[in-house]
Amino acid sequence: MTAKIAEEWLNSCSGCEIAIVDMGQRLLDILDKAEFVHIPVLLDHKYLGQLGDGRHIEIPEADVGIISGGIRNEEHLEVAQEMRSKCRTIAALGTCATHGGIPALTNAYHTDAVLERYYSTETTDKPDHWPDDGVPACLDACYALDEKIKVDIYLPGCPPHPDHVYAALAALLEGTTPVLPARSVCDTCPTMRAGKGQLKQLRRFLQAPHYGSPQEPLDKMRCLLEQGLLCMGPVTRAGCGGDKTTPRCIAARVPCRGCYGPVKQDGNQLLDMLNALASNGIEIGSLPEHPSLLRFSGAHRLLRPARQGKES
Amino acid sequence: MSQTITIAPITRIEGHASIAIQLDDAGNVQDSKVHIMSLRGFEKFVEGKPAEELPRIVNRICGICPWQHHLASNKAVDRCFGVTPPPAGRKLRELMQTISHAEDKLLHFFFLAAADFVIGPDSDYAVRNVIGIARANPELARKVVQMRYMAKMMLEKFAGKAIHPIAGVVGGFSKPLLEAERKEFLAKMHQLLDFALFTIDFAKTEIFPKYLDTITSLGAIKTGFIGTVDDDGALDLYDGKIRLMKPDMSFIEFDSQDYADYIGEHVEPYSYGKLPYARCWNEGFSLDLAEPRGIYRSNCLARVNVADKMATPRAQAELEEFREKFGRPAQATLLYHWARLIEEVYACEHAIELLEDPEITDTNIRAKVEPKAGRGVGCLEAPRGTLIHDYATDENGLITRANMIVGTTHNLGPINMSVNQAARSLIKNGEISEGTLNRIEMAVRAYDP
Domain spans of chain A, in order of start: 3-107+133-173, 181-312
Name the band, by pLDDT with cuts 50, 70 and 90, for residue A309: very low
Q: How far is CA B406 from CA B80, B211, B298, B321, B381, in A?
A: 20, 31, 10, 30, 10
pLDDT higher than threshold 90 for residue B167: yes
Q: How many CB pairs under 8 A join A and B?
A: 268
User: Judging by beta carbons within 10 Å of its beta carbon (0-12, 13-18, 19+), is residue A304 exposed, middle or buried?
Assistant: middle
pLDDT, one tens digit per residue, over A196-245 is: 678 899 999 999 999 999 999 999 999 999 999 999 999 999 999 998 88
DSSP string, B334-399: THHHHHHHHHHHHHHHHHHHHHH-GGGG-S--B------SEEEEEEEEETTEEEEEEEEE-TTSBE
Q: Which position has the higher pLDDT, A261 or B14? A: A261
| B272 contacts in chain A (CB < 8 Å) | 131, 135
Helix/strand number for chain A, H first, E second: 8, 7
A12 in B contact zone (CB under 8 Å): yes
Whether the Cβ atoms of residue A173 and residue A64 lie closer than 8 Å to each other? yes
pLDDT score at B182: 98
In A59-161, the DSSP E strands lie at: 62-68, 71-73, 87-93, 138-143, 153-155
Q: Hey, are the CB atoms on A131 and B7 less than 8 Å from each other?
A: no
pLDDT at A308: 59
- Whether a cis peptide bond, with omega within 30° of 0, leads into A159 is yes
Report yes or no: A132 at the B interface, CB cutoff 8 Å: yes
Whether B61 and A13 lie within 8 Å, measured CB to CB: yes
Residues of chain B in contact with residue A109, where contact means CB-CB under 8 angstroms, are 41, 44-45
A129, A136, A205 member nearest B52 (Cβ): A205
* pLDDT average, residue stretch A1-18: 94
pLDDT at B166: 97
Closest CA–CA distance from residue B321 to any residue of chain A (Å): 32
Q: Please tell me the distance from the alpha carbon of residue B253 to that of residue B238, in angstroms, as a whole number.
A: 16
Closest alpha carbon to B325 in B335, B333, B316: B335
Mean of the pLDDT values across residues B112-137? 93
pLDDT of A182: 87
**What is the identity of the amino acid at B434?**
E
Q: What are phi and psi of A109, to 5 degrees?
A: -130, 155
pLDDT tens per residue, range B258-274: 999 999 999 999 999 99
pLDDT tens digit sequence for A159-180 = 999 999 999 999 999 989 998 8
Which pLDDT score, from 0 to 100, does residue A312 have? 41
Nearest Cα neighbor of B303 from B238, B354, B348, B248 is B238
Which residue in the set B37, B52, B145 is minimally distant from A206, CB to CB? B52
Chain B CB within 8 Å of residue A1 CB: no
Q: Residues B260-315: pLDDT tens digits?
A: 999 999 999 999 999 999 999 999 999 999 999 999 999 999 999 999 999 999 99
Decide if pLDDT at B237 tops 90. yes
**Cβ–Cβ of A118/B53 closer than 8 Å?**
no
Which of 134-173 (A) contact B at CB < 8 A?
134-136, 138, 158-159
User: Hey, are the CB atoms on A289 and B272 less than 8 Å from each other?
Assistant: no
pLDDT score of A259: 98
**In chain B, domain spans:** 42-425
CATH annotation of A3-107+133-173: 3.40.50.700
Instruction: List CB contacts of B232: < 8 A, sequence separation 6 or more.
Output: B308, B309, B311
- State the Cα torsion B46-B403-B162-A217 to the nearest 10°: -60
d(CA A239, CA A160): 8
Q: What's the pTM value of the predicted model, to 2 decimals? A: 0.97
**Confidence tier at B349 by pLDDT (50, 70, 90):** very high
Query: Which of B130, B174, B432 lies nearest to residue A51, judging by beta carbons?
Result: B432
Distance from CA of B270 to the nearest CA of A (A): 5
CB contact under 8 A, A204 and B438: no
Q: What is the C-alpha separation between B177 and B185, in angstroms, rounded?
A: 10
The pLDDT of residue B318 is 98
**CATH class of the domain defined by B42-425:** mainly alpha
